């Protein structure tokens, strides 16, 4: 049990709303500190249910997520037994040819494709090891008084009402958070939700006839097509989860099998034999495109009683692969603050809310930007040139010059600092180009002078 | 009755939620077109109630608001019998001296200080002239199905539930709109609410002993103090409504009579005898500072069934005096669309929602900017120089060069266009300065050459 500084450790009664990835991880952190944790989840126990439609099937785990998992003793298991390393982007041109853009040619760091359900199940399973954690599934939050630490749930099966009181309420209930809706009723709450004009739809590349991967597995595959794109992440069973991102208007216009196939033949011809024509049609028309929302808000707390974390506090678009990682980083930071302030909730919640928002706003902006990079810029010579320059300088000065993607994905440098570093790098490069340009001109002028004037 | 183009005018059943300024004006517009209008208001009839605290007492009416009032036949009455013209800003320095910045030295256009309650009462009174308008006060919206045109109200006095159906629901229920909260449950709704760190508190300068104004009445008085400011607008009874805008932290720190008086003696010494020491203390401690919220959202409609207008759709901070004017302009534009589309709701609501948001986002940004101008920039030589240049060019080319404030306040040019004009003016001025700079340098160089080289 942690932080018995003055011998008066007060065991807190914590309710975590939301038993998804961030909620169940936070429950572990709090349990490890010796607090009583009750975890309430609206859905059924994910360990007993098949994959739900409309939530991404696999995710990219990178260093911020790994750091949090390490703290609760699950990193090695996830990386060694489950995660599939992805060493870079595997770009598919329209003609079916591919090229690779490594994430980190210097130290060969990878991101890992992990199954959402597997990881969520693992976290819940781990929580069973702690006697001070209780899990309640099929409980829907229907009313609350956050200032008083009061919550009222309705059981979705029996319709029974369950009322609970807590010293601390953690809302980790996702982008459409019920806890956040309660916080929103407080005055002075800044809130911004934005749907991008693109939606997504998931398809699948099955394993080959031998049960193996149909594409090189250790990459994130991208079919960048300017205004839209398709990506694929590998699964443990050697299938691929393929996600098509497009404006909703495009999805709407592909309303017949014929139009769909023509579209794929034009833009993603190499994917058709991989997915299978019939499966493509079946999967495409089985669902409909889901929207993508980005949420920025503040403050995250209600006095010393309630706090939102993860997507509930900062849902981001998925293009930097940082949604889960940022949510897990919330847990790491929160744990550090519990340590720093000896479980004094007023100080912990205030500092978390006052300091964390800038970094989450930053990753939100980066994720928006990265969509353009992924679907468009990666195909451009200017991008590839900049990437090459970045990589060379990074190789020469690994402490001083960390390229943006690497600092976001392979370091725990605060997101705002990652952006500042990039701005500084831009400035240095621009000045160097100016200097190079000036030197080149001067040398050129001298040459001209020597040749035509000096010799006359 | 309007728009009987093909002889099949369909009288619509419209429910307007909110009987404030924008709601009661919109009811008049719809009544004039021959539709049945039921106006539901949460509060009591404003004609029977004293001024409510926490809502501004008087407002600046300018051309966009006047244009709308003209359409319903109330402009002349408001301007001639009630509004107090304000010809410019009357700036109070700390030493008590003042100077005037006219709004429009060319054509002497004014803005008008009008009483909120008076104008609201007048609009409601006018609606009594129409048999097709019914008014229901003390009705609180408690549930709805906007897609079906269904609303459920609870009477705040008898607690009776009233259910109504409508062809069209107009939500004009202000910044904390209940109708907007319902729209927010729809997917793909973008929403942004932001509280600024400044709050406001209203004080009062009473009439002098003869019942006259204590300050020159035909100005908007401003005490700009950099980080904060105070303003005053004249009332019909020769009093002034004084509004102090400051960061909440400042309000919080002025927690004793002594601190309050010291603060006023330091920053607003000339206002103390005008307000009266005892009245200042009494009024300041009677209330507490209110927050200021800005809201941007879209879309404004739910299919062909519901629409939000005014503050419900786009609450802005009050620093451009455009909140009411923009809301009234919504009514004008909506009326034009009813005309254009012959009361076809699907087309009207879609076009309103698709086109209006850009202008309301623009005035929101302008209002945020104007706060800095009002509390800080107006005291700077650079601002006064730019204002002088703008005024001279405006005087020379009144069609081509309309300064930003004038285009926003004295024209009905769309707000986005006002900003574009200003950006173009900035560019022209910058180029002219560059040109002037170059010419001056050249002339200077020529002079130096003549003097020192040419004569040698």
Q: Do A291 and B189 touch (CB under 8 A)?
A: no
Yes or no: say if A263 and A167 are a contact pair by the CB < 8 Å rule: no
Inter-chain residue contact B190 with A193, CB threshold 8 Å? yes
Domain boundary at A286, A319, A341, which? A286
| Token output for A89 | 């982007």
What gap in Å lies between CA B182 and CA A187, rounded to an integer? 19
Buried b (16+ CB within 10 A) or exposed e, B170-200: bbbbbbebbbbebbeeeeebbbbbbbbebbb
Q: Would you call B48 helix, strand, or coil by DSSP?
A: helix
DSSP assigned state of A147 = G
Residue B66 in any domain: the answer is: yes
What is the CATH number for B364? 3.50.50.60
- Asked if A80 and A168 sit in the same domain, the reply is yes
B13, B118: one domain: yes
Alpha-carbon distance of B204 to B274, in angstroms, equals: 9
B413 shares its domain with B353? no
Verify that B117 and B262 share a domain, yes or no: no
Is residue A49 within 8 A of residue A137, CB to CB? The reply is no
- List CB contacts of B370: < 8 A, sequence separation 6 or more: B319, B320
Closest CA to A102 of A118, A86, A119, A117: A86
Is residue A120 assigned to a domain?
yes
B176: nearest CA partner in chain A: A185
Residues of chain B in contact with residue A189, where contact means CB-CB under 8 angstroms, are 193, 195
Same structural domain for residues B253 and B339? no
Q: Indicate the pLDDT class of residue B385, thresholds 50, 70 and 90.
A: confident
Tell me, yes or no, whether A305 and A160 share the same domain. yes
Q: Find how far residue A162's CA is from the centre of its chain.
A: 33
| Confidence label for B453 from pLDDT (cuts 50, 70 and 90) | low
Task: Tell me whether B190 touches chain A (CB under 8 Å).
Answer: yes
Please give the residue that has the higher pLDDT: either B303 or B393: B303
Q: Is residue A204 part of a domain?
A: yes
Whether ipTM tops 0.85, in short, is no
Q: What gap in Å lies between CA B293 and CA B198, rounded to an integer?
A: 10
Residue A393 lies in a domain: yes
Is the Cβ pair A192, B192 closer than 8 Å?
yes
Quick one: closest CA in B to A187, which residue? B291
Q: Name the residue among A118, A373, A363, A360 with its Cα closest to residue A245.
A: A373
Across the A:B interface, residue pairs with CB atoms under 8 Å apart total 28
Q: How confident is the model at residue B51 (pLDDT cuts 50, 70, 90)?
A: low
Question: Terminus-to-terminus CA distance in chain B, angstroms?
Answer: 89
Q: A359 and A244, same structural domain?
A: no
Tokens of A357: 């928002």
SS3 state at A139: strand
pLDDT at B439 over 50: yes
Residue B142 — φ and ψ, nearest 5°?
-120, -20
Q: Contact A291/B191, CB-based, under 8 Å?
A: no
User: What digits encode the pLDDT tens for the residues A397-419?
Assistant: 888 888 899 999 999 999 999 99
At B222-263, the pLDDT tens digits run: 999 999 999 999 999 999 999 999 999 999 999 999 999 999
- Residue B430 sits in the same domain as residue B400: yes
Q: Do B316 and B250 share a structural domain?
A: no
Statement to judge: residues A42 and A153 lie in one domain = yes
Domain end, chosen from A252, A286, A320, is at A286
Q: Looking at A286, A306, A339, which one is the last position of a domain?
A: A286
Give the position of tokens 């760091």: A109
Rounded distance between C-alpha atoms, residue B10 and residue B344, angstroms: 9
Assess contact for A327 and A309: CB atoms under 8 A.
yes
Which is nearest to B176 in space by CA: B308, B58, B298? B308
| pLDDT of A247 higher than 70 | yes
Same domain (yes/no): A159, A56: yes
| pTM score of the predicted model | 0.83
Residue of B nearest to A198 (CA): B188
Write the CB contacts of A361 (distance below 8 Å, at least 6 apart in sequence): A296, A314
Touching check for B147 and chain A: CB below 8 Å? no
Is the pLDDT at A4 greater than 60? The verdict is no
Is B455 touching A (CB cutoff 8 A)?
no
Any CB–CB contact under 8 A between A1 and chain B? no
Q: Which domain holds residue B401?
A: 380-438
Residue B131 in contact with partner chain A when CB distance is under 8 A? no
Give me chain B's average pLDDT, please.
Answer: 91
Average pLDDT over residues A203-225: 95
Tell me, yes or no, whether A261 lies in a domain. Answer: yes
In a domain, B360, yes or no: yes
| Nearest alpha carbon to residue B148 among B160, B133, B163 | B163
pLDDT tens for residues A120-175? 999 999 999 999 999 999 999 999 999 999 999 999 999 999 999 999 999 999 99
Residue A104 is assigned to a structural domain of this protein:
no
Indicate if B212 and B319 belong to the same structural domain.
no
**What 3-state class would DSSP assign to B197?**
strand
Q: Is A194's Cβ below 8 Å from some Cβ in B?
A: yes
| A135/A117 Cα distance (integer angstroms) | 17
Q: Are B24 and B30 in contact (CB under 8 A)?
A: no
Tally of structural domains, chain A: 3
> Which residue reads 């696999």 in tokens?
A58
Domain assignment of residue A187, yes or no? yes
Q: Give the residue carrying structure tokens 């100077």.
A: B99
CA B305, CA B288: separation in Å to the nearest integer?
A: 39
Q: Assess contact for B221 and B317: CB atoms under 8 A.
A: no
CA angle A440, A442, A447 (to 5 degrees): 95
What does DSSP assign to residue B46? G
């Amino acid at each position: 049990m942690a932080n018995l500084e003055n011998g008066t450790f007060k065991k807190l009664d914590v309710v975590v709303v939301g038993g998804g990835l961030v909620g169940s991880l936070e429950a572990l952190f709090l349990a490890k500190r010796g607090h009583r944790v009750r975890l309430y989840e609206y859905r059924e126990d994910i360990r007993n249910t098949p994959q739900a439609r409309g939530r991404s099937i696999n995710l990219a785990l990178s260093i911020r997520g790994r750091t949090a998992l390490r703290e609760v003793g699950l990193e090695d298991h996830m990386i060694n037994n489950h995660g599939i390393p992805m060493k870079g982007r595997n770009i598919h041109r329209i003609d079916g040819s591919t090229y690779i853009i490594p994430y980190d040619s210097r130290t060969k760091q990878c991101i890992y494709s992990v199954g959402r359900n597997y990881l969520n199940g693992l976290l819940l399973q781990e929580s069973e090891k702690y006697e001070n954690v209780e899990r309640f599934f099929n409980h829907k939050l229907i009313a609350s008084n956050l200032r008083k630490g009061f919550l009222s749930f309705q059981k979705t099966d029996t319709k029974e009402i369950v009322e609970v009181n807590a010293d601390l309420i953690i809302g980790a209930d996702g982008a459409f958070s019920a806890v956040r809706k309660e916080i929103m009723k407080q005055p002075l709450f800044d809130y911004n939700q934005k749907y991008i004009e693109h939606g997504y739809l998931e398809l699948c590349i099955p394993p080959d006839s031998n049960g193996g991967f149909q594409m090189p597995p250790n990459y994130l595959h991208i079919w960048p097509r300017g205004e839209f794109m398709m990506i694929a992440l590998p699964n443990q069973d050697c299938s691929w989860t393929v996600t098509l991102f497009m404006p909703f208007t495009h999805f709407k216009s592909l309303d017949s099998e014929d139009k769909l196939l023509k579209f794929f033949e034009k833009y993603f011809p190499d994917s058709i034999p991989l997915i299978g024509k019939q499966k493509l049609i079946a999967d495409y028309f089985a669902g409909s495109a889901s929207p993508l929302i980005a949420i920025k808000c503040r403050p995250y707390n209600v006095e010393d009683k309630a706090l939102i974390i993860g997507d509930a506090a900062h849902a981001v678009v998925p293009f930097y692969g940082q949604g889960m990682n940022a949510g897990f980083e919330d847990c790491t930071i929160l744990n550090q603050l519990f340590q720093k302030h000896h479980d004094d909730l007023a100080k912990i919640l205030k500092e978390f809310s006052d300091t964390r928002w800038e970094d989450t706003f930053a990753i939100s902006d980066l994720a928006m930007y990265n969509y353009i990079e992924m679907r468009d810029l990666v195909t451009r010579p200017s991008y590839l040139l900049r990437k090459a320059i970045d990589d060379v300088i990074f190789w020469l000065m690994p402490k001083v010059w960390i390229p943006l993607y690497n600092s976001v994905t392979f370091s725990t440098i605060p997101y705002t600092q990652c952006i500042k570093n990039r701005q500084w790098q831009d400035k240095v490069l621009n000045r160097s180009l100016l200097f190079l340009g000036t030197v080149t001109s001067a040398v050129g002028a001298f040459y001209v002078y020597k040749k035509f004037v000096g010799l006359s």
